[in-house]
């Protein structure tokens, strides 16, 4: 006995009237004249979607490409379920699910590998990038980021800017200071940061809230430590590598979690390197480290509750930990004369648009 169905060969959109029979574990598909259109191994037959009562069952054969069998007749459905037990519970997505899980596992393993290996690769690779190329490629990156944070103007009072240049030369050396650009931007945030391109940005809020010149100069020394170790450029290389790799792995969707993992894996070390650089520079120039310690103590007071929760996952050493380490360093004097400190605090009296 043959059972009615409709058959599409996957080559055209035409639907053929078909009749089904079963022999030797093969589903035989014939036309009305008895010509065999296809034979499907019963083990490879699966519904293309969840089987619903009263609805057409669409079957495919995993080894026969895009060919499809449409079953509308109830008698054919009953017969198929008898000759292929559990047919309704099969799914075309098993193979795809295995592939998806395999790709997901591969992504996780690559991410873990990046977590451990990428910092070392970037640390070695950054020295292959000429500083001149970095400066040209990332020119203005500091002001661009400041603008994104809400700053609209750069502070550029000439006498104050000259004091800042002289201090920078003391901290990083005259020759290196020629390659570094330090900006002050008009923003109330108490913050400072370094960017690729050998640029450092101090926020006006940092200067306004500082109790001494040593606080500001200490933070500047810390950021210059990042520049000297080329941490921002390492971060840029890491970000570019992660973007390329994770976009490829995810089919176009950058996975931010991987980027955060790579950041966390070594940014604590970067912060400690910058702290050590600042301590050495300040001690060499006879500048008290108390200001930098005071700055971190203020951060600890402001962020104590958050930091106590995030200590294990934070990408930076805890402020209290850093303040304690820096406070242990004794000696040194003022970073600036009282007159120069007042002049530096007045740097935002003249401004220009970013």
Strand ranges, E, within the chain: 3-8, 16-23, 26-30, 36-41, 45-47, 57-61, 68-71, 153-155, 181-185, 192-195, 199-203, 351-353
Cβ neighbors of 145 (< 8 A, separation 6 or more) are: 193, 195, 201
User: Contact 220/168 with Cβ under 8 angstroms?
Assistant: yes
Residue 64: DSSP 8-state:
S
| Residues recorded for the chain | 354
| Tens-digit pLDDT string for the chain (354 aa) | 899 999 998 888 888 999 999 998 999 999 989 999 999 999 999 998 888 888 999 999 987 788 999 999 999 999 999 999 988 888 755 555 555 566 667 666 766 665 556 555 656 667 778 889 889 988 998 999 899 889 999 999 999 999 999 999 999 999 999 999 999 999 999 889 999 899 999 999 999 999 999 999 999 999 999 999 998 888 877 766 555 445 544 554 444 444 444 444 447 788 889 989 999 999 999 999 888 888 877 766 655 544 443 343 334 455 566 666 676 667 789 999 999 999 999 999 999 998
Q: In this structure, which long-range contacts are made by residues 187-191, counting pairs with CB atoms below 8 Å and at least 24 apart in sequence?
A: 187/146, 187/149, 187/150, 187/151, 189/149, 189/150, 190/298
User: Contact 182/119 with Cβ under 8 angstroms?
Assistant: no
* Both tokens assigned to 152: 């609209």
Q: Tell me the domain boundaries of the chain.
A: 3-85, 103-353
User: Contact 254/243 with Cβ under 8 angstroms?
Assistant: yes
Q: Fold for domain 3-85?
A: PH-domain like (2.30.29)
């Amino acid at each position: 006995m043959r059972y009615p169905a409709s058959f599409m060969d996957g080559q055209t959109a035409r639907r053929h009237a078909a009749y089904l029979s079963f022999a030797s574990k093969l589903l035989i598909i014939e036309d009305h004249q008895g010509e065999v259109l296809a034979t499907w191994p019963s083990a490879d037959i699966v519904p293309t979607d969840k089987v619903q009562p009263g609805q057409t069952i669409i079957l495919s054969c995993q080894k026969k490409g895009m060919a499809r069998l449409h079953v509308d007749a109830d008698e054919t459905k009953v017969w198929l379920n008898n000759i292929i037990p559990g047919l309704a519970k099969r799914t075309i997505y098993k193979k795809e699910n295995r592939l998806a899980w395999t790709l997901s596992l591969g992504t996780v393993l690559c991410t873990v590998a990046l977590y451990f290996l990428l910092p070392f690769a970037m640390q070695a690779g950054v020295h292959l990038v000429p500083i001149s190329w970095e400066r040209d490629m990332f020119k203005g990156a500091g002001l661009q980021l400041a603008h994104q944070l809400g700053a609209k103007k750069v502070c550029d009072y000439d006498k104050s800017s000259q004091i800042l240049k002289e201090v920078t030369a003391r901290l990083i050396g005259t020759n290196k200071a020629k390659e570094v650009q330090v900006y002050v931007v008009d923003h109330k945030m108490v913050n400072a940061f370094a960017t690729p391109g050998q640029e450092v940005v101090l926020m006006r809020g940092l200067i306004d809230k500082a109790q001494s010149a040593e606080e500001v100069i200490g933070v500047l020394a810390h950021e210059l430590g990042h520049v000297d170790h080329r941490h921002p450029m390492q971060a840029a290389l890491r970000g570019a590598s992660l973007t390329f790799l994770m976009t490829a792995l995810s089919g176009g969707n950058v996975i931010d979690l991987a980027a955060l993992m790579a950041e966390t894996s070594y940014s604590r070390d970067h912060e400690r390197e910058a702290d050590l650089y600042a301590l050495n520079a300040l001690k060499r120039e006879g500048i008290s480290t108390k200001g930098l310690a005071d700055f971190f103590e203020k951060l600890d007071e402001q962020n104590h509750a958050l930091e106590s929760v995030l200590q294990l996952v934070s990408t930076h050493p805890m402020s209290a930990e850093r303040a304690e380490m820096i406070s242990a360093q004794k000696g040194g004097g003022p970073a600036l004369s009282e007159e120069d400190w007042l002049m530096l605090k007045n740097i935002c009296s003249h401004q220009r648009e970013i």
